Structure 1
Amino acid sequence: MAITRERFQQGLTYDAWKSQMTRNRERFEENERGAPLTERDLAAFRALPRPLHVLVLAEDWCGDVVANLPILGRIALESGKLELRVFLRDQNLDLIDQYLNEGKFRSIPVFAFFDDDFRELAVFIERPRSVTELRERKRREIYASDPSYGLPADPADKLPEDVRQRLQEALVGMRTETKPFADREVVRELRELVARAPAVRG
């Protein structure tokens, strides 16, 4: 089902999305303030010949949404070339089912870019592959560092409480350690997606 202008306008504005958040708003806004945008990054979006419409699918409990949507929000604010409308994934299954990750997962966030005639130009889903690969490697290293953690596929809630807490702290530390790389990769991928879209090159 094609996305129409009328359906797009039914979404929340970026500010309205933030206002309705019931969790993670402080971290969301911290990520927004800390988005690693250079003047060169912003210039790439400001140079777009015409504004783009970006349909966003998100939920405030999702770590990738809290990490990545603030970067897009900052780009939209500072470039003036992206109009965002945010839809709650779980209330808009007809939309998310058009953007399944690997054809089967309802991964978020989704950023779908459209021109003024609502032709789809590019889509970003969840996070860059490079970030997934790095974190999977780091996660395997954490499990390998302590046999009491078991295997990565094992359910963590079956571990003794002290072991589970130690594992959780290690995983949180890993995400913190890899965040600067992840944020820059999000910016890079968004720039590349927009640059490759044929309808915005001239």
Structure 2
Amino acid sequence: KPADVKAFHDLPQPINVMTLAEDWCGDVVANLPVLGRLAQASNGKLNVRIHLRDQEPGSHIMDQHLNRGQFKSIPTLIFLDGNFRELGVWIERPDSVTKLREEKRQALYQQHPEWGDPSKPIAELPEEVRTQIQQATGAMRTETKPFANAEVVRELRELVERAIARQPV
């Protein structure tokens, strides 16, 4: 949205974003391009650097920013001021996206009782059923992508706006 682009473009000071990621992660593949577009729109105000989670210095940084104190969830975006003081952290994906996708996943299983129990590990299912589930899940992710992208932008904008409001002038 234009208002979101303007919010990042008009930041009063540059913000450094240290990002922990790995290219095999679906949330990284989905959400890093959103951050990239915001950085491009920011007119140099978002300075993004990406570190691999499983290599130094990323692994050391990851250990300090575990999701719920125990999970090495990615992407992890660490927002820092010009003196590299932490302003805020954003991890993985918005809860609203997780909730929506889980609701849609449960609905898919209700529409397809032949798939069995949704809590059963997918690796234990017959290949034909796994393929059907993967195709349906892929279509659901495509369908929910606009909502997910908007939620990522909303959360990142809120994080940055809160951080800027706390900064001394």
How far does residue 200 in structure 1 lie from its aligned partner after superposition?
Answer: 4.7
Structure 1 counterpart of 2:119: 153
1:12-51: CA deviations, max 9, x gaps?
xxxxxxxxxxxxxxxxxxxxxxxxxx22111111221110
Q: 1:196 aligned to 2:159?
A: no
Which stretches in structure 2 are left out of the alignment for 5+ residues?
none
What amino acid sits opposite 1:78 in the alignment? A
Alignment partner of 1:76 out of 35, 39, 47? 39
What amino acid sits opposite 1:115 in the alignment? D
The answer to whether the Cα contact below 8 Å between 1:149 and 1:163 also exists between their aligned partners in 2 is yes
Distance (whole Å) between structure 2 residues aligned to residue 60 and residue 199 of structure 1: 34
The answer to whether the Cα contact below 8 Å between 1:54 and 1:84 also exists between their aligned partners in 2 is yes
How far does residue 158 in structure 1 lie from its aligned partner after superposition?
Answer: 1.7
Q: 1:39 aligned to 2:2?
A: yes
Distance (whole Å) between structure 2 residues aligned to residue 39 and residue 113 of structure 1: 22
What amino acid sits opposite 1:164 in the alignment? R
How far does residue 201 in structure 1 lie from its aligned partner after superposition?
Answer: 7.7
The answer to whether the Cα contact below 8 Å between 1:56 and 1:86 also exists between their aligned partners in 2 is yes
Structure 1 counterpart of 2:91: 125
Distance (whole Å) between structure 2 residues aligned to residue 147 and residue 121 of structure 1: 47
1:149-187: CA deviations, max 9, x gaps?
122221112212211111111111111111110000001
What amino acid sits opposite 1:81 in the alignment? K
What amino acid sits opposite 2:124 in the alignment? K
The answer to whether the Cα contact below 8 Å between 1:48 and 1:201 also exists between their aligned partners in 2 is no
Distance (whole Å) between structure 1 residues aligned to residue 89 and residue 103 of structure 2: 26
Q: TM-score w.r.t. structure 1 length?
A: 0.78
Distance (whole Å) between structure 2 residues aligned to residue 186 and residue 156 of structure 1: 28
Structure 1 counterpart of 2:26: 63
SS in 2 for 1:90: coil
What amino acid sits opposite 1:145 in the alignment? Q
Alignment partner of 1:53 out of 6, 13, 16? 16
Q: TM-score w.r.t. structure 2 length?
A: 0.92
Alignment partner of 1:175 out of 141, 148, 167? 141
